[in-house]
């Protein structure tokens, strides 16, 4: 089936276009906009070619601005499987489908994730790595995170920052301390800072705007925010003040698994918040925990489909790790191999996206960070939280601290490339 791709002038037009086309019964899917079609909006709409004229008429009557509708050439690759790969015929068929640029169904994604055949698992992780090389190349992006507050108004069952955890020593960094930490990061060459916290209303819209403006004027860095759900008008103010990216994890796209982990969250509100971010023009990140109670491979397949359908550009995937003094503290950790399979499948399905090898992988296994990079990941998050506070940002217990030196040494040892902004300091 041939397809056409619609590239809109802004994210809000893309989202409006997707909605009106879907409502009119046209099958649509979202993909990160391939570079050759322009980068005005980071997400593009794909439709069946035979519905192009109908779609054009709808977009024009609904005043959706788009820069073009092009014949969509699927991203084709070769040799994702080793020649001597002794894998199941159906497994090989799915990898061939990916090579031909075709989308996998939910069931097909589940088939890849559920495989326990060691040869298939090995082939899957290697295929994720090959796709990483063919889509985003060998450079490993290095980003620095500042965990500026461990107060949280929520009570997620897996998280050590939950408000009911009274044994945690709480801290808040002042705007000056946060800006200073960003300046230190910039001096080491980093170009993106991640501001991370629990959901802490002490940081009002005004305070966050002050922090964002301060970081922009002092460092010029790109800013990623990861501070949980916020009202749309605040997200808009943060965007205007200089925030570029926003990470808001769904944690599980399956409603039941989500509910079990988030007693005081509403699934639909979370999804709406992620949509708001896209409409406001953020490069949007989301992600999932692997190994939550009640989660099965079909739920993880739902996660991948959710990330694909929402057109997510940054994808964080990591194992569940138990945190002291939480309802889930005695549960076993998530499986590293399943987390790696998720990274590989995310890369194979989502293609041109940023996928970090997460701190949770590094915490679960000494070689977790490395194995993530060898399964499809292309980003490392380095911890720049001042030492005095690091131990208290205990979202899970015994959290590893990924340092810049560790990241640089790892990238070099794998023969991958450091980003140019890091080179001079390495």
Query: Which residues make up the interface to ligand SF4 (CB under 6 A)?
Result: 152, 154, 156, 159, 161-162, 198-199, 228, 395
As measured in angstroms, the least distance from the Cβ of 215 to ligand SF4 is 21
Residue closer to ligand SF4, measured from CB, 315 or 323: 323
User: Which residues have C-beta within 8 Å of that of residue 329, sequence separation ≥ 6?
Assistant: 322, 323
As measured in angstroms, the least distance from the Cβ of 338 to ligand SF4 is 20
Residue closer to ligand SF4, measured from CB, 156 or 349: 156
Q: Which two tokens stand for residue 46?
A: 């794909």
CA-nearest of 27, 26, 33 to 6 is 33
Residue closer to ligand SF4, measured from CB, 149 or 378: 149
- 124-161 burial by CB neighbour count: b if 16+ within 10 A, else e? bbbbbbbbbebbbeeebbbbbbbbbbbbbebbbbbbbb
Contact call for residues 379 and 354 (beta carbons, < 8 A): yes
**Three-state SS letters, 293-362:** CCCCHHHHHHHHHHHHHCCCCEEEEEECCCCCCCCCCCCCCCCHHHHHHHHHHHHHHHCCCECEECHHHH
Q: What is the DSSP string of 260-304?
A: HH-TT--HHHHHHHHHHHHHTT-EEEEEEEES-TT--HHHHHHHH
Residue closer to ligand SF4, measured from CB, 199 or 279: 199
As measured in angstroms, the least distance from the Cβ of 257 to ligand SF4 is 14
As measured in angstroms, the least distance from the Cβ of 160 to ligand SF4 is 7
How many CA within 13 A on the CB side of residue 166?
Answer: 0
As measured in angstroms, the least distance from the Cβ of 288 to ligand SF4 is 13
Residue closer to ligand SF4, measured from CB, 159 or 211: 159
As measured in angstroms, the least distance from the Cβ of 271 to ligand SF4 is 16
Residue closer to ligand SF4, measured from CB, 80 or 395: 395
């Amino acid at each position: 089936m041939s397809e056409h791709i619609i590239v809109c002038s802004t994210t809000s037009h893309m989202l409006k276009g997707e909605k009106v086309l879907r409502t009119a019964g046209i099958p649509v899917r979202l993909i990160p906009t391939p570079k050759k079609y322009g980068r005005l909006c980071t997400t593009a709409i794909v439709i069946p070619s035979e519905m192009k004229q109908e779609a054009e008429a709808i977009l024009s009557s609904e005043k959706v601005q788009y820069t073009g509708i092009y014949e969509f050439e699927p991203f084709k690759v070769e040799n994702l499987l080793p020649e001597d790969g002794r894998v199941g015929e159906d497994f090989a068929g799915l990898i061939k489908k990916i090579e031909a640029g075709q989308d996998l169904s939910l069931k097909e994604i589940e088939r890849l994730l559920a495989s326990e055949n060691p040869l298939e698992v090995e082939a899957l992780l290697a295929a994720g790595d090959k796709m990483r090389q063919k889509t985003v190349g060998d450079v490993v992006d290095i980003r620095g995170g500042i965990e500026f507050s461990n107060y949280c108004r929520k009570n997620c069952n897996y998280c050590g920052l939950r408000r009911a955890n009274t044994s945690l020593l709480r801290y808040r960094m002042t705007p000056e301390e946060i800006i200073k930490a960003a300046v230190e990061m910039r001096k080491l060459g980093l170009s993106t800072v991640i501001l991370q916290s629990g959901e802490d209303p002490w940081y009002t819209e005004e305070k966050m705007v002050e922090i964002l403006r301060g970081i922009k004027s002092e460092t010029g860095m790109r800013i990623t925010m990861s501070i949980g759900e916020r009202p749309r008008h605040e997200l808009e103010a943060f965007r205007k003040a200089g925030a570029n990216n926003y990470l808001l994890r769904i944690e599980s796209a399956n409603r039941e698994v989500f509910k079990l982990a988030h007693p005081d969250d509403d699934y639909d509100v979370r999804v709406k918040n992620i949509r708001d971010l896209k409409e406001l023009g953020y490069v949007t990140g989301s992600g999932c925990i692997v190994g939550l109670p009640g989660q099965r491979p079909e739920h993880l397949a739902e996660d991948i489909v959710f990330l694909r359908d929402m057109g997510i550009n940054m994808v964080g995937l990591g194992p569940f790790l138990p945190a002291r003094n939480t309802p889930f503290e005695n549960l076993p950790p998530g499986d590293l191999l399943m987390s790696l399979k998720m990274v590989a499948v995310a890369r194979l399905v989502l293609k041109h996206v940023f996928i970090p090898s997460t701190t949770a992988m590094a915490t679960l296994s000494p070689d977790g960070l490395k194995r993530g990079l060898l399964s499809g990941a292309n980003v490392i998050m380095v911890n720049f939280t001042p030492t005095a506070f690091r131990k208290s940002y205990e979202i899970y217990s015994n959290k590893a601290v990924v340092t810049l030196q560790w990241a640089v040494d790892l990238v070099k040892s794998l023969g991958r490339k450091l980003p140019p902004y890091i080179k001079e300091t390495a």
